[in-house]
Amino acid sequence: MLPRNISRNFLVANYGGSNGAIDNDDGSLRYENNHNFQVYGHQKFKTGAIRSYGNVIAYASEFGGKPWFKTPGTIADEPNAMFNNHVFLVDNTRYHPPTPGEWVGKRAYGNHLVGANITLDGPHANITLTQWQSMDPATNDVGSTYLDVPIAKQGPEIIAAARKLLAL
């Protein structure tokens, strides 16, 4: 089956606010969610072979959390993945739960996170992205970066990223 593309859109989350500007639920397979400007929500995964990349996600209250994000997907050699996204998080947000087999390795990498007081969730709660990466540099969020900037000061960077993405 060829992937389905959700690409080059301006999306505002309307399903529970932060649950996702894109909601791939039961039965969603092989979606390529890429190069979208998403406001108030991120990517919801539940089944498999769904890739979220190249997106600008603004005012997200989490990224990779909640139980449905823990789902590796239903196709073993094609796990759900979040990579190369530019994510602007509200202050005190929790990043994905770093549990073995979940958002590690080829599943989460190269994301650029911007927010204030962002820590991980799950068994390694309250550690920073840098601390998480140092625990296993070859696997844990390889290439992901974090910039500590409060949400109140992110506006100009969000607008610039959206314009660049959508070529406005």
Q: Please give the structure tokens belonging to residue 31.
A: 């979606």
Residue-wise pLDDT for 92-138, tens only, equals 887 776 565 566 666 889 999 999 988 887 777 788 888 888 988 99
Residue-wise pLDDT for 48-73, tens only, equals 788 899 999 999 887 776 544 455 55
Maximum separation of any 2 CA atoms in the chain, in Å: 43
Q: Please give the structure tokens belonging to residue 102.
A: 């979940």
Count of Cβ atoms closer than 10 Å to residue 68 Cβ: 16
Q: Please give the structure tokens belonging to residue 10.
A: 């301006």
Q: What is the pTM of this model?
A: 0.88
